[in-house]
A and B are shown apart, each in its own frame.
Chain A
Amino acid sequence: MTQMPLYQQVLTVLLCAAATMITRFLPFLVFSSKKPTPLLVRYLGNALPAAIFGLLVVYCLKDVVWAAAPHGAPELIGIAVTAGLHLWLRRMLVSMAVGTAVYMVLVQGVFA
């Protein structure tokens, strides 16, 4: 459970909601369908997603302690299993379920 006072929790969640709504509503508020979509927006819309997803993968690993045992081995193995399965079967739920299960076995049993 969080150490945050309630008002900070509410504010954090509302800011997340506001950011989400801004990104969903903005195109409908800003752009006219009679004019072309600005090229910069189209460029960023195509170029950003891959960078964001790469950033998010690193974000998930930010608390891994690489210097001490097990040197991030459960994370790296879990990612390898997830990615390998996904490249093989392209079934999102299978890749996630098996990758997570392998990771859980590793942290609960093998590297515990």
Chain B
Amino acid sequence: MMKEKGYRLAALRAAFPYTVPILAGFAFLGFAYGVYMNVLGFPFYYPFLMAFVIFGGSLEFVAVSMLLAPFSPLASFLLALLIQARHLFYGLSLFDTYRGLGWKRFFLIFGLCDETFSIIFTAKRRLPQGVDRGWFMLWITWLNEGYWVLSALLGGIIGGLLPFDTTGLGFVMTSMFVVIFLEQWLHEAYHFTAWLGLLAAGSCLALFGAQSFMIPTMAVILAVLLFARRPLSRHYLPQAAEARTAQPAGAEERGGH
């Protein structure tokens, strides 16, 4: 490599400011995740290891309920796929951005969470002069990952020592999904699939019970989306009819949470 020395550090310096909002958010969420597991009786290394291995915020919370429920590998795997399916979209949007970056590409994709996606997607347009692009994006990815994993570790260690009653802290997960749901709602002009998710899940919960309603719900959602694809495409696939371009699908559509 013919790069001047210190280009990694320069990229880190350029990347850090972009990650400060994520630091604040992850410090709270990751910590809450660690405390949440701690309060449920898990040793401190559980949230740390799960944060490190899974690295997908909302799924990690759900994974805790999977550990507390009877073992059901297929249902867990399918639910995890469904929760994480939105990442497919991030990959499509950053497909070209991540090209030709060699080994860094693996780590960039590995750590491509909602927040990292939105930061990189906005930052790559106004990259500071003379900064190594690959390292810049890699630092953003690693910094965010580090914030999350360390906060989870800290929450797992401190959790039980918190000088107040933590009953009900698990509601942080509910409120997180309420906020994400609302953000998505506010972002969309057409709310069919938002209602579909709520109603399909609500009725399947009533029909099948808390232990086994997820797979029927997922099946209903997918079936409705596939059967009603033609009329729904008008709302969820703008310009589908006229422009069949090679552009990555509406990258500006979502900004993670």
How many whole Å from A98's CB to the nearest CB in chain B? 9
Contact with A along B35-66 (1 / 0, CB 8 A): 00000111000000110011110111011001
Residues of A with C-beta under 8 A to B42: 1-2
If A42-B250, A46-B249 touch, does A100 touch B86 (CB 8 Å cutoff)? Answer: no
Residue of A with least CB distance to B24: A93
Interface residues on A, range: 35 or more
**With a CB–CB cut-off of 8 A, which chain A residues contact B112?**
24
Q: How far is the CA of A25 from the CA of B112 in the complex (A)?
A: 9
Instruction: Identify A56's interface contact among B58, B92, B254, CB under 8 A.
Output: B58
Q: Does A68 contact B (CB under 8 A)?
A: no
**B172 touching A96, Cβ below 8 Å:** yes
Option from A9, A17, A39 in Cβ contact (under 8 Å) with B240: A39
* Shortest Cβ distance from residue A79 to the other chain B in the assembled complex, whole angstroms: 5
Q: Which residues of B contact A51 (CB under 8 A)?
A: 193-194, 196-197, 200, 221, 225
Stretch at the interface among B6-14, B94-102, B127-135, B150-158: B94-102
From 20 to 68 in chain A, residues with beta carbon under 8 angstroms from any chain B beta carbon are: 20-28, 31, 33-37, 39-63
Indicate if the CB atoms of B200 and A55 lie closer than 8 Å: yes
Nearest residue in A to B58 (C-beta to C-beta)? A56
A interface majority secondary structure: helix
Interface centre among B82, B201, B240 (most CB of A within 10 A): B201
* Contact residues in A for B210 (Cβ distance below 8 Å): 62-63
Within 8 Å by CB of A23, from B84, B105, B180, lies B84
Say whether B1 faces chain A, with CB atoms less than 8 Å apart.
no
How many residues belonging to B are interface residues under a CB distance threshold of 8 Å?
A: 100
Q: With A23-B87, A36-B244 given, is the CB distance from A59 to B62 under 8 Å?
A: yes
Assembly CA distance A92 to B179 (angstroms): 7
Q: Is the CB of A2 within 8 A of B177?
A: no
CB pair B193–A47 under 8 Å, yes or no, is yes
- Please measure, in the bound complex, the distance between the C-alpha atom of A20 and the C-alpha atom of B248, giving whole angstroms: 21
| B83 partner, pick from A40, A56, A78, beta carbons under 8 A | A56
CA distance A41 to B95 in the complex (A): 14
- B188-226 contact mask (Cβ, 8 Å, vs A): 1 or 0: 100101111110111001000010011001100100010
Interface residues, chain B, with chain A CB atoms under 8 Å away:
24-25, 28, 32, 40-42, 49-50, 53-56, 58-60, 62-63, 66-68, 71, 73, 76-77, 80-92, 95-96, 98-99, 105, 109-110, 112, 165-169, 171-185, 188, 191, 193-198, 200-202, 205, 210, 213-214, 217-218, 221, 225, 229, 232-233, 236-237, 240, 244-246, 248-250, 253-254, 257
Provide 29 A-B residue pairs closer than 8 Å at the C-beta atoms, listed in order of the A residue: A12-B73, A17-B54, A18-B77, A20-B55, A21-B110, A24-B91, A24-B112, A31-B92, A35-B246, A36-B244, A37-B92, A39-B244, A43-B229, A46-B249, A48-B85, A48-B225, A49-B184, A50-B197, A51-B196, A51-B200, A52-B82, A55-B198, A55-B201, A56-B181, A58-B198, A60-B174, A100-B171, A103-B168, A103-B175
